[in-house]
Amino acid sequence: MTTAPAIPADLVRDETAHQSKQFRWISRDGLRLSGEIWTPRTPSKPLPVLCLPGLSRNTKDFHAIAGILQDRGYRVMALDYRGRGKSDWDPNWQNYTMPIESQDIDDAIAHLNLDRFAVLGTSRGGLHAMAMGQRYDKRRLAGVILNDVGPRIEMRAIRRLAANIGRNMTHASFDALAKHLEHGMGPQFPTFTGADWLRYAHQLGSKQHDEVVLDYDAALAHQLASLDEGAPWPDLWPLFDSLEGVPLQVIHGETSDLLSRETCQAMQARHQGMELITVKDQGHTPMLWDEETQLKIAGFLDRLS
């Protein structure tokens, strides 16, 4: 078992500066997995919110929205999958799969004693949220928010992810990482300022000794290394259809290369009452930093409580 690198105490967080606590649970194969929980001073919302990150992402992606929801009385939890964030790395990279991660998620839900809850899933986390429609009844799964993901994933985005994941893992500074991100992702976030790229860099990496290291196991790259573009893509529509009857909000990045406008329209046609939010000038995935998107997420959750 490999233990994830320690995250320094002086790691810069987003400006919301809301208090969270780390929690741990043990996977079925003995890994120590980690999450964060935001508990409101005055709990006024009975519905907890479970946040699930993207493929190589971590709980820091949810600091801003979790702080907003905490202020509104919500208890919010975010998970680090195995091999990401503060969770242990798996000595066997072949375990970095959706089915095993699903087990870890279910075990975290049991550990947290969640009965009825909502899920906010970003990218891969949204795929997990769709799959939960097949494992949790509609009484327990009170609502789902999908952040820039759906049952059809554009191949150009998969190519981009495969070309980047596991590479350029270390950088001389957060400024250097910010410049690297801007160079690679600038077209998807055309209005980002230097401060925005620096904030994004702090979400993705942490200071270790004299360099900044991305917060995931580079072995995740093996999952995409054998990508066969000629093979048929798995049919994910049954997962999406399992959310029938579950209140659904979909957040779409206007410049996303992963979730297309046409897929969003097809999703709306199949899911009665689906709420669609398009975030202007943001791609894959919307950061959930802007007040307009945050208020729409909060409003959706308020209607479930």
Cis peptide before 278 (omega within 30 of 0): no
Cβ atoms of residues 23 and 37 within 8 Å? yes
Distance between CA atoms of 52 and 50, rounded to whole angstroms? 7
- Residue 264 phi, psi (nearest 5): -60, -40
Per domain, the residue ranges of the chain are 21-155+236-304
pLDDT tens-digit profile of 271-285?
A: 999 999 999 999 999
Q: What pLDDT does 278 receive?
A: 98
pLDDT tens-digit profile of 202-259?
A: 999 999 999 999 999 999 999 888 777 777 778 999 999 999 999 999 999 999 999 9
pLDDT tens-digit profile of 78-112?
A: 999 999 999 999 999 999 999 999 999 999 999 99
Cβ atoms of residues 184 and 200 within 8 Å? no
pTM for this prediction: 0.93
**Strand, helix or coil for residue 169:** coil
Q: Domain 21-155+236-304 falls in which CATH fold?
A: Rossmann fold (3.40.50)
- Provide the token pair at 39: 């508990």
DSSP code at position 125: H
Q: What pLDDT does 14 receive?
A: 43
